[in-house]
Amino acid sequence: LLVYGQVDFDPIHAINVEVFTVFPENVTFNQAPTAITLDNREVTENALADVVGTLTVDDPNTDDAHTFSVDDNRFEVVGTELKLKHGVALDYEDAPTVDVTVTVTDRSNLTNSQTFTVNVLDVAEADDINESPTAITLDDREVTENTKADVVGTVTVTDPNADDTFTYSVSDNRFEIFDDPNDDPDQGPQLKLKNGLALDYETESYVDLTVTVTDSGGLTKAQDFTINVLDQADGDDNEAPTAITLAYANADRTVTENVTAAVVGDLTVTDPNADDTHILSVDDERFEILDGTLKLKHGTALDYEAATTVNVTVTATDSGGLSIDQIFTVNVKDTVAAKIGTSDPDTINGDFGVDFIRPGTGADTVDARGGNDIIVVVGRTYGDQYTQADIDNPTDKDGNTLDVDWDSLGLDLNSVVSPASINSRSESDTEYDEIIGYDIHDIPIYERLYDSLDGGEGTDYLVVYGTVDFTNVTVGNVTVFQVEGTGAGNEDPPTSVAVI
């Protein structure tokens, strides 16, 4: 099939032939553009009508003419320059890149499209650049002497970054910048003396200090201020109390546990205004102050096992409303409680402090547990074997005494024994005859039971009056102290056989 010129074969069915097109000399037929290039792919944010770059079209028909279109209506092609339209700029914070598709069309309406990614260049904006504060002002520069926590004035900071936030510091640690966001927002941060602090004109009539402000970016500004201290006429104006002292009732600063309304001591207030009067108060509601005496309230006592010391804060407020606080420590003295058994079999457990234990005549089980404990047992005794002296200051046959500080315990052997209760004893505390049945004549049948005595932890004594046979008694963790009787009935002193 020999073809001259251009023939559109789409509607024509040419089969079983070889097509041969004859091209006359110097005749060129149109072909579509083959490529589009862009020599730059950046615009600067906020730059109106910024030029992206110059477009170049590759076309087999070198003399062909071209028109351009862009799919993003913020852009246009002027001549061969791809650019933003008049009045249009891009924002880096909205999108750092933009994809645009450029389409080129030749004179025969043949086209080619190419997508380019345009980078948006970020620029430093005024809101993005942190600048340090430029000034600090203070609307007042005075405090009145003897006025605690007095406010100097309101601090104002000037900063190019209008919405910046700040922290503050003061070179003089008696002062602080108080900025409570819950307060009146129109008030602003205040330079003031710290709570409980006041200045004295006679000591210093002015104070030089430096306020430093730091913004959210860590940049700072410091400003020096002179704060004047206003004088109050001596003798005419009130000054705060300067001290509270406590003369303890006991040298060891104690109150004894379980004692209601116990007195701690007498309070004295020191005040520059010699004739001033004072109201005394205490922060612990278990205590009260009556006529200058610090004491526990009526019906109230302390418990050593609950707390061995108590800290109380006493406040003295003068007639002008000025005050001072002072903390005092009260030591709680432990007391020893006697535990006495009955005629029945008993189980007696000590506390973890000091215990005085006197088993009864039943078969008792004693566990004194922790602490330095004293267990007292009485065996068989003569009529006047023991006297009061043997209870007040017991000694053994060698003249040794018990190594016990009775005064510190607040309790002694008189709490569990007396001469009348231990003399003329025919039975021992450590033995008990229990009826286990009756014979055919209704005569009771007995079984002999014995005590178990354990001192537990600590330095524990088993104090023995009279003759006690320990052969069948379980004894542990104690030192046996056999009391020597000094009475008239002690011609042949009995001894105890102890197996420990």
Q: Where are the domains of the chain?
A: 35-121, 135-230, 243-333, 337-482
| Domain 35-121 identical in fold to domain 135-230 | yes
* Residue 400 amino acid letter: N
φ, ψ dihedrals at 181, nearest 5°:
-65, -15
* List of the chain residues with pLDDT < 70: 10, 23-28, 125-128, 181-186, 233-237, 337, 352-353, 407-410, 489-500
State the pLDDT at residue 97.
96
Helix (H) or strand (E) holding 230: strand 220-230
State the pLDDT at residue 334.
77
CATH of domain 243-333: 2.60.40.60
Helix (H, G, I), strand (E, B) or coil at 411: coil
Fold (CATH) for 135-230: Immunoglobulin-like (2.60.40)
**Alpha-carbon Rg for the chain in angstroms:** 52
DSSP state, residue 310: E
Are 477 and 498 in contact by the 8 Å Cβ rule? The answer is no
CA distances, 163 to each of 124, 160, 183, 187, 188 (Å): 17, 9, 19, 17, 14
State the pLDDT at residue 302.
92
Nearest to 412 by CA among 356, 463, 368: 356
Hey, which residues does 222 pair with through a beta bridge? 212
State the pLDDT at residue 181.
60
The highest-level CATH class for domain 35-121 is mainly beta
Extended strands (E) in 259-308: 263-270, 278-282, 287-290, 293-296
Average pLDDT, the chain: 87
Angle at 47 between CA 44 and CA 51, to 5 degrees: 70
Q: What is the pLDDT of residues 439-491, one digit of tens each?
A: 888 888 877 777 888 888 888 899 999 998 888 888 999 999 999 988 876 54
State the pLDDT at residue 496.
45
Strand pairing class (243-248; 309-318): unpaired
